[in-house]
Amino acid sequence: MIRGIAYLVVALNANTRPGEIAAGAACGVLLALIPGGNLLWIALGLLRLVVPLVGPPA
């Protein structure tokens, strides 16, 4: 559990845009609300691997 908190602190303090962290959190919440093993969950998970959430930096 300590390691998970440490990863969260490192991610929040990294030189990333706030939109990247928000998009990742939204994607995680979306996948957490759909029952695992469902075809929709699998499709969204695979789509997440193929399509980037945020574009290149401006």
pTM of the complete model: 0.59
d(CA 58, CA 55): 8
| Residue 37 backbone zone (phi > 0: left; psi -120 to 50: alpha; other: beta) | left
d(CA 4, CA 12): 12
Q: Is residue 58 scored above 60 in pLDDT?
A: no
Q: Are 40 and 34 in contact (CB under 8 A)?
A: yes
Helix (H), strand (E) counts: the chain = 3, 0
For the chain, the domains span 2-50
Instruction: Convert the pLDDT of each residue in 4-44 to its tens digit.
Output: 888 878 877 777 777 877 888 888 898 889 888 889 888 88
